[in-house]
Amino acid sequence: MEFVIGRDPLLHFIQQHLSREDDEVNGNSTTVSDPSPARAYLRERNAMASTAVDVKEYPNSYVFIADMPGLKSSDIKVSVESGNVLLLSGERKKEEEPADVKVKYLSMERRTLKFMRKFTLPSDANVENISAACQDGVLTVTVPKIPPPAPRVISVNVK
């Protein structure tokens, strides 16, 4: 096993394993592997581990900033699951070459990748008004906060 400075060896192994299986599924090898629950788990784990996200809290909102290199806005999905789980995901697909152009890759280091992160939102998150914008490969998701209720003054009666 190769140890790479600054990378988790387990995640590196998983990435190598998935890349090898992707090559097999895409026809770059003579063996085709079946999708399995284990492979699906590894893909999801790798997608989550490879997505860098900063989370900021402002007085009126939470802001999630995620690197989504090489993705167009149409390739990115922002959704809310189970009422309070924010899901950021996307997939960088292999570029298709025109059929009339014969291309021979001399090196192919950019792989198809899935990006995904899940965040459990706090109870004061307003999930109905979430906004998202993508610029230069950086996704910014803003989740407004529900304002706290105004203090209620209760009069005290004298008996």
Order of strands, edge to edge, in the sheet holding 61-67? 53-57, 61-67, 138-144, 131-135
The contacts of residue 9 (CB under 8 Å, 6+ apart) are 1, 2, 3
What is the value of pTM for the model shown?
0.63
Residue-wise pLDDT tens digits, 1-41: 333 344 566 766 666 665 554 444 444 443 344 567 766 66
Per-residue pLDDT of 91-139, as tens digits, reads: 877 777 777 888 887 887 776 777 888 899 999 999 999 999 998 889 9
Work out the end-to-end distance of the chain between its first and last CA atoms, rounded to an integer number of angstroms: 81
